[in-house]
Amino acid sequence: MAGETQSLRFKIEIPGKETKESGIISALTQGYVENWISTLESIDDETKKDLVELSKGYPDTALNAFVNNIDLMVARVKENRIKEQD
């Protein structure tokens, strides 16, 4: 079901601790990731463009990992740019 997101409610119980119920968690979409990248102020526009292109190679189920590892993704983009210049 490409392009569809599903919501999930879950509860974490730890013995001896108060039980907390989460909010609704949704899978990230490509559009959300592209919008999020565009808001990153510490990254230049060319790197943002390359990050968007890199993120398109990830399936929707892996976009959470892409966002959580944005520093690594920026490093990959910069590394690829250096290789292209050589």
Domain ranges, ordered by start, for the chain: 27-85
Q: Which long-range contacts (CB under 8 A, 24 or more apart) does 46-51 make?
A: 47/74, 47/77, 47/78, 50/77, 50/80, 50/81, 51/77
pTM recorded for the entire structure: 0.67
The tens place of each residue's pLDDT in the chain, 86 residues long, gives 455 555 556 555 666 655 555 454 567 899 999 999 999 999 999 999 999 999 999 998 899 899 999 999 999 999 998 988 87
- Hey, is 18 helix, strand or coil? coil
